[in-house]
Structure 1
Amino acid sequence: MFANRILSGMRPTGSLHLGHYHGVIKNWVELQSSHDCYFMVADWHALTTNYDNVSIIEKSIWDMVIDWLAAGVDPDKATVFLQSKVPQHAELHLALSMVTPLSWLERVPTYKDQIEKLSTKDLGTYGFLGYPLLQAADILVYKAGLVPVGEDQVPHIELTREVARRFNNLFGREANFDELAQAAAKKIGKQGKQFMQQRTAYLQDGNAEALQAAREILAASQNLGVADRERLAGWLENKGKTILPEPEAKLTAASRMPGLDGQKMSKSYGNTITMREAPEQVSKKVKAMPTDPARVRRTDAGNPEKCPVWQLHQVYSDHDTREWVKQGCTSAGIGCLDCKQPVIEGVLREQQPMFERAEQYLTHPDRVKEIVFEGCRRAEQVAKETMTDVRAAMGLGF
């Protein structure tokens, strides 16, 4: 498993807004400096709910990639690629569909939730039922160790872990597995004997400390290749070779970006500011925001806690500005338009470097395609290696 490798993605279904930036992309920009990051344009996933409106997908792909780059995603640090241009995603999805119980997909919490929320769409398709399995394939084809998600997405990672576990249990034991594992243990050197003693203590007595000690010996060994390391990891717990490692959820800090009406910013609520919204539009939208209904007249005192604009001050204003707003609102010392101006300035200040970075790609669109083409090439190299192991394990390696 590549413990430091991260896989994350977004569906191209329209313009990205500041909720996407604060909720996802800002985190990506931080992670790319410390992790091996793969950021995926999930265009096949877009078809699960937008199969009847595909015209939006292609334009959204390139707009979205430019938004990522404008926000600070660095193609020299992270791999940016299109899901549909790496066919191994679909191949692994098909392979996993052969062994994944139908009931596992039907119990995913977001399945029924989305059907209820999108009741106007016909989602009685295999593609929609199977999209969590395609997500699992997206992660497992890169043997990603970490997947950054919010609390609501943890069940998807747990499904991915269960699918990987079932696959490994079904296909992970090679014909001469025990002999290969014992030969690999000898490669550890002086620690090999201790590794085997700890393994015995764990398997015979269920000694959890012995299991941990054996794992530490394995982790510290410098003399093992990937295949031998995976064999020993499986042999240690009397399992087979780990072909598809189980990923961990990397919980991201809850970031509820407020929209123009005080609800969570979302396209479905029509309360968004896009990442590259024109300054005059930003100003117009913020000035039109509803405020505390108690402030009917300029001279009426208000309560910031009841005002959607106050929520945006929590994101864009410093302590002194917030204190000025609180004092001015509760005493009617400032008007609502006065209160909104620092928010407008804060949004425009955040967007300015995005516009500057985006300009180089808008004037040279071929550069965006070069970045994605190179990202697809790098992603496919990794995905091919995984599928070689998967095909061999399933008897298709001839």
Structure 2
Amino acid sequence: MTRPVILTGDRTTGPLHIGHYAGSLKNRLSFQDSHRQFLLLADTQALTDNADDIGKVRRNVLEVALDYLAVGIDPAKTTICLQSHLPALAELSMLYLNFVTVARLERNPTIKDEIRARGFGRDIPAGFLCYPAAQAADITGFKATVVPVGEDQAPLIEQTNEIVRRINTAAGREVLPEARAVIPKAGRLPGIDGKAKMSKSGGNAIALSASPDEISAAVRAMYTDPGHLRVSDPGKVEGNVVFTYLDAFDEDQDEVARLKEHYRQGGLGDAVVKRRLEDILQALLAPIRARRAEYATDLAEVTRIVAEGTQQAREVTEATKREVMDALGVFRL
């Protein structure tokens, strides 16, 4: 039987962190054997708000690829490809912009939130505003029917499906499939400082390549309950980053539940739960860090893996582009 197609990826703006691992990378590993998976190094998307630092985007293409390989992404099972080297995606993006209005783009909740977070005001880069059409091109270019995203990204999948329906209506038949968003149970991890979003640029993340000392320092600095001043004081679990991370990474959830109850009643110090979390993160990241270091000794091989995957992806996306153009009746030489 034909395996369902899945598309996912990351902006190449910096190395990946444990939030990426909990939110998407673990799922991608599990999808490798059951799906035809394409993993997009989204350097073109990264330029929508980093055009003033193209060097950063370029440098991080291989950094993100290294993280993929380090966590166990197998290029024999998952196609790793570079967005900027897939011209069919850019052509489909331009085409799709004729099937969506500026007002609809501006109403997209994800785009509205990101515009507000970045403080663009009305000085919104056109590429950023048009990102939903570009993502629709990414998804449909591979004819993906499964797209793992965070809950905040679900409106983008909804808008992709709106564009798909308009294309199919214009063509008079189903040319493109609709996609289903897969939202991870872990949800988005907060930063170690307790802020809502863990980010590479915010300095509140733990990189997958973090050293033992960096992991230890990050756990020690984690936001807990500011009202939990003494060990004997009852503490709050809600909003406590240490417990949020234990929920995401500790395999013994019965013990986590017991620790939460103890913490709420009082008599359990932050140092104890932080020590447990540090041990878990050290064990998780040590093999990832070692594999990453090994791959990093041969960047030519990493580049070859990306180039080979990109060639495979180019053939797939070019075929989709031709099919969409023909279905819409675009003149063909």
Counterparts of 2:40 and 2:57, CA distance in 1 = 14
Residues 168, 48 of structure 1: alpha-carbon distance in 2 compared, 3 angstrom cutoff:
same
Alignment of 1:174-185 (within 5 A): none
Opposite residue 390 of structure 1, the aligned amino acid is V
User: Shift of the alpha carbon at 1:70?
Assistant: 1.0
Provide the TM-score with structure 2 as the length reference. 0.88
Counterparts of 1:314 and 1:254, CA distance in 2 = 8
Alignment of 1:1-398 (within 5 A): 4-119=4-119, 123-170=123-170, 172=171, 240-267=172-199, 269-297=202-230, 300-303=232-235, 305=237, 307-317=240-250, 318=252, 319-320=254-255, 323=258, 327=262, 330=265, 332=267, 335-393=269-327, 394-398=329-333
Residues 362, 165 of structure 1: alpha-carbon distance in 2 compared, 3 angstrom cutoff:
same
The answer on whether the counterparts of 1:19 and 1:265 sit within 8 Å (CA) in structure 2 is no
Residues 109, 313 of structure 1: alpha-carbon distance in 2 compared, 3 angstrom cutoff:
closer
User: Shift of the alpha carbon at 1:359?
Assistant: 2.5
Residues 374, 288 of structure 1: alpha-carbon distance in 2 compared, 3 angstrom cutoff:
same
Query: Which runs of 5 or more structure 1 residues have no equivalent in the other structure?
Result: 173-239
Say which SS state the counterpart of residue 277 (structure 2) adopts. Answer: helix
User: Shift of the alpha carbon at 1:247?
Assistant: 2.4
Counterparts of 2:127 and 2:151, CA distance in 1 = 24
Q: Deviations 1:296-332 (Å, cap 9, x if unpaired)?
A: 456x434252643333333344334663675488554
Query: Which runs of 5 or more structure 2 residues have no equivalent in the other structure?
Result: none
The answer on whether the counterparts of 1:154 and 1:249 sit within 8 Å (CA) in structure 2 is yes
Identity of matched residues, %: 35
Q: Deviations 1:103-148 (Å, cap 9, x if unpaired)?
A: 3323222222222111158742321221110101111111112222
Counterparts of 2:272 and 2:183, CA distance in 1 = 38
Aligned length: 327
The answer on whether the counterparts of 1:5 and 1:35 sit within 8 Å (CA) in structure 2 is yes
Q: Deviations 1:4-60 (Å, cap 9, x if unpaired)?
A: 001112111122111111011111111111000011011111111111222211121
Residues 381, 341 of structure 1: alpha-carbon distance in 2 compared, 3 angstrom cutoff:
same
Provide the TM-score with structure 1 as the length reference. 0.75
Say which SS state the counterpart of residue 284 (structure 2) adopts. Answer: helix
Counterparts of 2:103 and 2:249, CA distance in 1 = 45
Structure ID, larger Rg? 1
The answer on whether the counterparts of 1:304 and 1:326 sit within 8 Å (CA) in structure 2 is no
Counterparts of 1:279 and 1:121, CA distance in 2 = 41
Partner of 1:210: none
Residues 250, 331 of structure 1: alpha-carbon distance in 2 compared, 3 angstrom cutoff:
closer
User: Shift of the alpha carbon at 1:369?
Assistant: 0.6
Say which SS state the counterpart of residue 39 (structure 1) adopts. Answer: strand
Residues 355, 103 of structure 1: alpha-carbon distance in 2 compared, 3 angstrom cutoff:
same
Q: Deviations 1:275-313 (Å, cap 9, x if unpaired)?
A: 111101111221233443344456x43425264333333
Counterparts of 2:297 and 2:315, CA distance in 1 = 30
- Further displaced range: 266-275 or 82-91: 266-275
Counterparts of 1:149 and 1:93, CA distance in 2 = 20
Say which SS state the counterpart of residue 13 (structure 1) adopts. Answer: coil
Counterparts of 1:115 and 1:265, CA distance in 2 = 15
Opposite residue 287 of structure 1, the aligned amino acid is R
Counterparts of 1:163 and 1:263, CA distance in 2 = 34
